[in-house]
Structure 1
Amino acid sequence: MQSFSSRFSFILLLVFTLFALIACGNESPAEQVHPPIEVNVVRAVEHSVPIGGLYPGRTVGSKEVQVRARVEGILLRRAYTEGQAVTAGQLLFEIDAAPFEVALNRVKAQLAQANATLSAAQRRWQRAQELIKTNAISRRERDDTESDLDFAKAAVKLAEAEVQAAKINLDYTQVKAPIAGITSREAVSEGSLVGPDNSLLTTITQLDPLWVNVSLPDKLVLGIRRMIERGEAAFEGKREVEIIVGQGEQYPFYGQINFTESAIDRRTGTVQLRAIIPNPDNALLPGQFLRVKLHGLMSLNSIVLPARAVLQGAQGTYVYKVGKDNKAEMVDVTLGMDADEGVIIESGVDAGDLIIVDGVSRVQPGAILDPRELEGANDSSPSEPEPIGPAEGESAQADITAAEGDGE
């Protein structure tokens, strides 16, 4: 009997121990209180900013001239070095001039003959005028003499024109550079017959200044026009372009926009504009691809945030701002154009809002923040944070201490 009581007591002890362990396992632990998250923030401010962005461009010669043979003949000599610079008026090619010299001599002889005929007609006309006074000749003979004089004068003018044309053709045998620039290789070698069907000899490209053709997206151009119509953007100062070559190297000279296409290219969906840019050292070559940045267009009274502050989600773009009690709030935003300082915010952010720019990857809606305001909204790189103020920092720390006390 005593053995049975001992066993029963032992079983009851095991049961109570098991229930105690289960009860201890079901007890919820005290809530963990996370320290505030240190983040860098910028204060949204309305101000005028340059509309930025880099756009593709390609250089072309400001003048590209095809040098052609204007008379038919055998190409005797090339007088320049291919690929080298030439000056305006410099001799490039010589075409066999012998046939043209013969033609010039022939028309000169015809001119001399016409002048002799004119002299004879003038003498006859003078005699006829004296004879008509004494009625020694009829009026008909006098009129015929005057007509012969007019024909002789016309023949002289025709012969003079023929001489001038022959001189021009003879000059065309000396093919000279119409502009200064860089030559291409010769298109026809010496000894070839050149003429109307085979006239291209070489090409000259003027390198200083150069033209830069820029392709702007149609949405950008239409957006700029709408902003200007609404008074949200305006041109200030010179309409210049900045050239970026290679791996972000800035070209030392700025260009001036001198042409804008009035229609959208249906093949590419872009609008073409052209800028003229100095190229004194021939550092740029025609056909070179580069990036172009526009200057002079300002977005007025705009809120601009650094690009790193804007996040992309399934529902669109958003930012985190510092809300009441330093709690993080997620705000949907509508983006505008790129600006030099970041991206323009069209809606979702008001002036004075504190927007998180650094540490945003650790933030969730409702998280307690320890915000440090950067000096300017146009600061595009992380910097040493500065506390917003002792009052806000102390308030956040007091909340955390109180929460820890409650947990204990």
Structure 2
Amino acid sequence: MKRIGLVIAIPVMIGVGYFLAYPELSLRASAPDKGAMPTGSLSASGGNAQAQTKKRNAIVPLVVVAEAKKEDVPVTKTVVGSIEPIETVAVRPQIDGVVVEKHVIDGQMIKAGDVLFKLDDRALNATLAKDQSLLAKDEASLVSAKLDLSGAQDLAKQRVGTDQQAYQADAAVKVIEATIDMDKAQIAADQVQLSYTTIKAPIDGRVGVVNTSVGNLVRTADTTNLLTITRMAPLRVAFTLAESDLPALRAAVASHPASVQIKLPGSNDVIATGTLNFIDSSVDTASGTIVLKADIANEDGALWPGQYVKTVVDLSLQKDATTVPLIAVQQGNSGSFVFLVHPDKKVAMQNVTLANTVGETAVIASGIQPGDQVVVDGQLHLQDGATVQTTTKEAQAAPVPDPGSDNKALSVEAAQ
């Protein structure tokens, strides 16, 4: 065992002594053989960096431009409005009775005249039959009284009877005729009461929650409605404008019917239009606003009562206004500005005065003129005085021709 230990220990000790004596050889052996770095490599790398910097500085950015236009722009106000129903009916019983039939469910669309409920009408039918019998009895009595009157008048003419008997017979006829009129009126009242047992829809619309069912006793004194019917078309949008907008609003209504556009919150799509038809008679002194309303056809059912919407009111028309896409207008420390592209393809930061915004269009009061080119895409890395390449959205949207189509045609001709 000792010999074996010595045989193993001696080579190990020799190897350790070798690495301690020649450390530079060990480092060379451990390093990968990539070749020595030539002298002057640092200076070469520094030159490459400077060249790359100059190359980057020489790159001309490509930006998308649009031309400032001269056009008529509508002056509008955008406010939050709410959709209101024009007609809403709360259906309640007009007589006390037990519900025996139900012909409607929650949320159902109905037409005017549709039967909603039927109440127990047996007692009313019996009362009607009794009053009709009384009418028949009184009509028979009237026939007898008229015969008595005719006989009394004949006797009076023959001097057999007295005139007083004739007068009494005539009075009896008139009393019975009045009784018959009263019987007819009672029968009409019975028929009206009987009609109340069939509850019908008074208007077209959508039913809300139905609050009763077959077997329930409903009373006229109940505070809960049987159901509510809301007309879904047309509807009305109600909104408010500031008192300062009232002169422009009145001028708009006087010159032309002021149009109203309806948009959903978070969207610029117009889903409905209407005409302003109501301006409140007074300004709310607490808020300094005035209430306005406009009717909306809502034939497609896109709107719903109680819904909040964006309401765009057309107040007037600004003629020959200078407009640019709203995305071209940037905000800086000194206010609004645009990047104006000169004919030499150099850009300049041009301060502008923003008069109004209509959708995606900005109305410029001063700073640029119609025909000027402004940057609408690529402003992020631009600086005042930079040189740029320009293109337009129309050019970007144009289809790119296939460069291989001509080569394919030539190859076919050559093959032929």
Match of 1:202 among 213, 219, 227: 227
Number of aligned pairs?
336
Give % identity: 21
Do the aligned partners of residues 119 and 246 (structure 1) sit closer, same or farther apart at CA in structure 2, a change above 3 Å counting? Answer: farther
Letter in 2 for 1:301: D
Deviation at 1:162, TM superposition (A): 0.8
Instruction: Give 2:29's aligned residue.
Output: none
Instruction: Give 1:165's aligned residue.
Output: 189
Instruction: Give 1:368's aligned residue.
Output: 385
Deviation at 1:71, TM superposition (A): 0.9
What SS does structure 1 have at the residue aligned with 2:147? helix
Deviation at 1:227, TM superposition (A): 6.3
Letter in 1 for 2:320: N
Instruction: Give 2:169's aligned residue.
Output: 145
Contact 1:73 1:95 survives alignment (8 Å): yes
Letter in 2 for 1:368: G
Deviation at 1:60, TM superposition (A): 4.3
Contact 1:43 1:354 survives alignment (8 Å): yes
- The worse-fitting range, judged by mean Cα deviation, of 94-103 and 120-129 is 120-129
After TM superposition, the score normalised by the length of structure 1 is 0.64
Instruction: Spell out, residue by residue over 1:232-267, the C-alpha distance to the aligned partner (whole angstroms, 9 max, x if none).
Output: xx648x94635547756664xx44336323345667
Distance 1:49 1:373 in 2: 27
Distance 1:383 1:227 in 2: 43
Deviation at 1:96, TM superposition (A): 1.6
What SS does structure 2 have at the residue aligned with 1:115? helix
Deviation at 1:204, TM superposition (A): 2.3
Instruction: Give 1:104's aligned residue.
Output: 128
What SS does structure 2 have at the residue aligned with 1:191? coil
Instruction: Give 1:275's aligned residue.
Output: 295
Distance 2:236 2:191 in 1: 41
Matches within 5 A, 1:9-408: 44-51=68-75, 55-198=79-222, 200-207=225-232, 209-218=233-242, 221-222=245-246, 224-225=248-249, 228=252, 235=256, 239=259, 241-244=261-264, 251=271, 254-257=272-275, 259-263=277-281, 264=283, 269=289, 271-280=291-300, 282=301, 284-293=303-312, 298-312=317-331, 328=348, 330-331=350-351, 333=353, 335-336=355-356, 338-340=357-359, 342-345=361-364, 347-349=365-367, 351-352=369-370, 354=372, 356-358=374-376, 367-368=384-385
Contact 1:60 1:286 survives alignment (8 Å): yes
Name stretches of at least 5 consecutive residues in structure 1 with no aligned partner.
1-32, 376-380, 385-408
Distance 2:362 2:231 in 1: 39
**CA RMSD of superposed structures (Å):** 4.4
Instruction: Give 1:18's aligned residue.
Output: none
Deviation at 1:198, TM superposition (A): 1.4
Instruction: Spell out, residue by residue over 1:116-163, the C-alpha distance to the aligned partner (whole angstroms, 9 max, x if none).
Output: 332233223333443443444554444443333333222211211110
Letter in 2 for 1:201: L
Instruction: Spell out, residue by residue over 1:186-231, the C-alpha distance to the aligned partner (whole angstroms, 9 max, x if none).
Output: 2234433322211721122333x241414253368536437649x9
Larger Cα-atom Rg: 2
Instruction: Give 2:32's aligned residue.
Output: none
Instruction: Spell out, residue by residue over 1:282-322, the C-alpha distance to the aligned partner (whole angstroms, 9 max, x if none).
Output: 55543333444557964333333332344556776566767
What SS does structure 1 have at the residue aligned with 2:72? strand
After TM superposition, the score normalised by the length of structure 2 is 0.63
Letter in 1 for 2:325: P
Deviation at 1:106, TM superposition (A): 2.4
Letter in 1 for 2:202: P
Letter in 1 for 2:361: G
Distance 2:146 2:367 in 1: 98
Do the aligned partners of residues 115 and 35 (structure 1) sit closer, same or farther apart at CA in structure 2, a change above 3 Å counting? Answer: same
